[in-house]
Amino acid sequence: MDSSSNLILTALQQTRGAAHQLAMASGSTRRRVIMLLAQMLETSFDQVLEANTLDLEISREMAVSELVVEWLKLTPERLEATVGLLKQLTQSADPTKKLIKATYQLEPCQTYSQLRPLGTIALVYEAFPELALIAAGMCIATGNGLILRGSSTAANSNQATTNIIHHALAELDLPPDCINNISPDGESSIQELVTQDRYLDLIIPYGRPSLVRKVTEQATAPVLRTAIGNCYLYWSSTADLELVRQMIIDSHRGEPDAVNAIEKVLVHKNVKSSLLTSLFSSLQEQNFQLRGEAQLVEDFPEYLQPMKSAEWRQFYLKRVVAFKYIDTLPNAISWINRYSSGHANCLATESYEESRKFAQNIDGALIYVNTSPRFCRNPNCGEGVFLGMSNQKGYRQGLIGLETFTTVKQIVQG
């Protein structure tokens, strides 16, 4: 076994042991840690931003892609939003105390189910330094250990945030090793981490689809895939232009990662040309790049650029929207099920019947009818805090919230 494998194995063993102590702590103690983490982060903005500036300088020298640099770049606003998310987590009840009615009963016993921590979770992420803090808060809230494996582009930022997490845990006498950061420097590889199924209970890859695919293919431990981009909108002939415009533009306002941005629009063939012209003009004014199938490009050459057929399956992850004519709702549903990423698809219509058919037949995690699909980690400042979105069937499809970090144990009381 080489030195890098030893480092990873040691970190996993330390985290797994420390996670048991964290899970045994009371929910109120874990909430106090999260509040302290939020307060420590508030007083450490300068330190974190200084580390982030160093990462940005190195990334530009390495010619890192503009998209990843945008994900990497921290601002006071992003850090303030992270503080708000951590404080919101302290308002949530301890999910591991939640009881669920069992699906069966044994006479003369009482049978029930209870949520419990998963154990040890690995977050393999690309840029997004604040994700370490959010994931740490969620794991502390649920009593799980966490292994952080960020990218080399964010090494200094990730170390700065990990130091804050460790100080908060130590301050309240909880083992700092329940949250461990594995540096991407040297010889340590993603594969060496994600094949440690003896110690890992769940792996969450977060970043471009290429990273998610790499982790999924190499892992031997369970993986919860996250999804970004290539969301579809079907514009029914009955829908209002202003609604369609608002849904598209607002979906791209998620910062820094527009997870649910509408990138493809299927337009019913009966939508008037004047409405399309108005939409295209408005989107161009908002600095969108517009593309379309051959027929639409022929009809609107001053607005649309031609696209390749392979693009219907591909994500853009920037302000690009492609358009296609479609003749019926069933054909729109079939096209979306075939080509979309399957985590957030939308409908604009004034027909209740269409909305029901769309909701029942679209194969996806979340369906949005007449509303923007914009992703937010704490929507409407409510109770829920979400790490991201998943289109994966079989394990917590949809929003990745606190209960995603738990499993169920069944108890039979005689």
State the number of CA atoms in the 13 A half-sphere of 115 facing the CB: 17
pLDDT of 3 reads: 58
- Range name among 187-191, 297-301, 395-399 with the lowest pLDDT average: 187-191
Domains and CATH numbers, the chain: 3-226+388-413 (3.40.605.10), 231-369 (3.40.309.10)
Residues 11-58: pLDDT tens digits?
Answer: 999 999 999 999 999 999 999 999 999 999 999 999 999 999 999 999
Two tokens at 36?
A: 């302290």
First to last CA, the chain: 48
Positive or negative, the CA dihedral 205, 207, 208, 210 is negative
Positive or negative, the CA dihedral 3, 133, 22, 221 is negative
Question: At 16, is the secondary structure helix, strand, or coil?
Answer: helix
Two tokens at 179?
A: 């949250």
- pLDDT band of residue 4 (cuts 50, 70, 90) is low
pLDDT of 154 reads: 93
Contacts of 80 (CB under 8 A, 6+ apart): none
- pLDDT band of residue 113 (cuts 50, 70, 90) is confident
Q: Is the pLDDT of residue 339 over 90?
A: yes
